[in-house]
Amino acid sequence: MFKFTAIAIVGALSAVGAAKAVTSLDSTLRQSPHTVPATAAAATLGDAGGAGAAQLTKGPDGHFWAEAKVDGRAVRFLVDTGATAVSLSKADAQRLGIDVSKLNYEYDVVTADGRTRAASVKLGSVAIAGAKVANVDALVIESGLETSLLGMSYLGRLSRFEATPRSLILHP
């Protein structure tokens, strides 16, 4: 099943390259798409959004960024509904305590920087504000992924998520 995931993520990872090419035409947001606030805003919603729902505010680059807790440690993700799986950069995997030198990079994937390999891992939990999911399948990308991606192996396990022009709401 994860081989299918690795193949499906090929197109999704290519979207990151496309996102890098996007520039804002709005004169008030004339910054590079690489320039994103260091922290991503996530708030837990009360009764209006449902118990434990998390709201992400769209970044100035037009993308949704999430500051998540992965196994209790902070990881910054680009939300990518086109990515089949949560995809970790090698640097983020190392910060999470994953020994990347002992992983089996058996899956071929294509990133914005070209072909590379990926290894399958299982994350104990991924939480964004109150939207927590346990036992999340993920890939560690050997090279070519600068920013970790929050893909469907997390998003698809939520009861639902909804996008508005300015926010993304995650319902556990």
* 3-state SS class at 62: coil
Residue span of the structural domain in which 52 resides: 2-21+40-171
Structural domain includes residue 106: yes
How many CB atoms sit inside 10 A of residue 51's CB? 11
pLDDT in tens, 40-97: 557 766 534 456 899 999 999 999 999 999 999 999 999 999 888 999 999 999 999 9
The mean pLDDT value for 20-37 works out to 32
The count of structural domains within the chain is 1
d(CA 15, CA 13) in angstroms, rounded, equals 5
Structural domain includes residue 30: no
The mean pLDDT value for 11-17 works out to 43
d(CA 141, CA 123) in angstroms, rounded, equals 15
DSSP E strands: which ranges in 36-158?
Answer: 42-44, 54-57, 65-70, 73-79, 86-88, 107-111, 114-128, 131-141, 148-150
Structural domain includes residue 47: yes
CATH code of the domain containing 15: 2.40.70.10
